[in-house]
Amino acid sequence: MAEISDVFFVDGMRTPFGRAGEKGQYWNTRADDLAVKATIGLMERNPNVPKDRIDDVAIAATSQTGDQGLTLGRSVAILAGLPQSVPGFAIDRMCAGAMTSVTTMAGSIGIGMYDVALAGGVEHMGRHPIGSNADPNPRFVSERMVDPGALNMGVTAERIFDRFPHLTKERSDRFGMLSQHKAQAAYDAGKFQPDLVTVAIKDAEGAWGLATEDEGRRPQTTMEDLAALKTPFRPHGRVTAGTSSPLTDGATMSLLAGGGAVKELGLAPKMRLVSFAFAGVQPEIMGIGPIPSTEKALKKAGLTIHDIGLFELNEAFAIQVISLLDHFGIADDDPRVNQWGGAIALGHPLAASGVRLMIQLAAQFAERPDVRYGLTAMCVGLGQGGSVVWENPHYDGKKKK
């Protein structure tokens, strides 16, 4: 008989994130191969998990075409050397793809149908820009269901400034600058490197090399630099390249398990899933999506925002994160928030990003036994938000000195 089970984030790994386009490190690397590398790295780091015990593989991609098509979960499972008895599928919730891979697998584990699962995402935005090969239904615009600008994420970010005038460009610029500084400090301290899978890459001349770190960082960024940048989404606008996540290629993968499998296989989980929620908002202002999804997730968990000791919020745009912090009464520079920087510095390979947030939160939990609960949350294209509340298995109830 199947039994209701706790769901644990056992481990997660990712490829370094590359700058999308011809000058990026993954221009000559297939998207599915990035997912394969992340999967192999994760399985090699968890030898206690027999490959034939994986019940399912969920891999998200926003543009499911070309080397991101062909039922990624199944094709990557085969390419990564998992037994052919292991099934898999592909999933799409745009930016929250990997997050949805995790929550979907978590649901199957929670009701006792699965014991162990892999969940992640991949996006090669160099090969497959957002919306490429998509054909939005003309009714969206003709029947005024969705404003045409809603399909341009930068335009939706500008609208957050319109709605909340006290969220100034200067605040957004400072958040973007600090993301770069924090990410570099975390790199210098060796925080990211343990969870990165090295990827063999080939340059335009055919020479081989290795991708070992995130490519898009700009640690020398200053407020003066950001003030001088163009506003591509609107004349005299407030959103710039310095306060937006860059176009990025990369893959993430996580290993999830139920309580019985954790005990049977002798695993040491990094987090326990407490609750999750997704919510819809107006597509025209999609960046506020994580506000209602976080409120729903907290309510399901019986918690309040004050119970959250660490936040990993996806920085699609600085203004989008600031709007969530402002709503919950949290300072822009609160040390609990994105303490190792975020997507503005590291990149946002759409469907892969949700698991990056989880990998970073898990690593921070290990350092912070004084913190019991953490939140991973993100905005989602077409007007959605996704949030997951996690519990720290290292929590000891002692206040930090």
Among residues 295, 280, 314, which one has the least CA distance to residue 383? Answer: 280
CA angle centred on 201, ends 345 and 93, rounded to 5°: 50
**249 φψ region: left (φ > 0), alpha (ψ -120 to 50), beta (else):** beta
CB 249 within 8 A of CB 125: yes
The share of the chain scoring above pLDDT 90, in percent, equals 91
pLDDT given for residue 401 in this prediction: 61
The share of the chain scoring above pLDDT 70, in percent, equals 100
Residue 197 has pLDDT above 70, yes or no: yes
pLDDT given for residue 394 in this prediction: 97
Grouping H, G, I as helix, E, B as strand and the rest as coil, residue 378 is strand
Q: Which CATH number fits domain 151-193+207-243+274-389: 3.40.47.10, 1.20.970.10, 3.40.50.150, 3.40.470.10?
A: 3.40.47.10
Pairing assessment for the beta strands 56-60 and 116-124 based on DSSP bridges: parallel
CATH architecture of 7-126+246-265: 3-Layer(aba) Sandwich (3.40)
Exactly one of 236, 327, 348, 394 is catalytic; name it.
348
Instruction: Respond yes or no: is residue 128 known to be catalytic.
Output: no
Q: What is the dihedral of CA 106, 98, 138, 21, to 10 degrees?
A: -170
Question: Mind listing the pLDDT tens digit for each residue in 294-332?
Answer: 999 999 999 999 999 999 999 999 999 999 999 999 999
243 CB neighbour count, 10 Å cutoff: 28
Mean pLDDT of 205-223: 95
DSSP notation for 124-177: ETTTS-TTTT----THHHHTTSS-GGGG-HHHHHHHHHHH-TTS-HHHHHHHHH
Supply 389's token pair.
Answer: 């509340």
End-to-end CA, the chain? 47
Instruction: Respond yes or no: is residue 95 known to be catalytic.
Output: yes
**Residues with Cβ < 8 Å from 366, sequence gap 6 or more?**
270, 394
C-alpha span between 384 and 117 (Å, rounded): 25
**Residue boundaries of the structural domains of the chain:** 7-126+246-265, 151-193+207-243+274-389
DSSP notation for 252-302: EEEEEEEHHHHHHHT---SEEEEEEEEEE--GGGGGGTHHHHHHHHHHHHT
Instruction: Respond yes or no: is residue 348 known to be catalytic.
Output: yes
Question: Mind listing the pLDDT tens digit for each residue in 69-92?
Answer: 999 999 999 999 999 999 999 999
Pairing assessment for the beta strands 88-91 and 56-60 based on DSSP bridges: parallel
C-alpha span between 118 and 49 (Å, rounded): 11
Question: Mind listing the pLDDT tens digit for each residue in 117-149?
Answer: 999 999 999 999 988 888 889 898 889 888 888
Exactly one of 124, 181, 306, 379 is catalytic; name it.
379
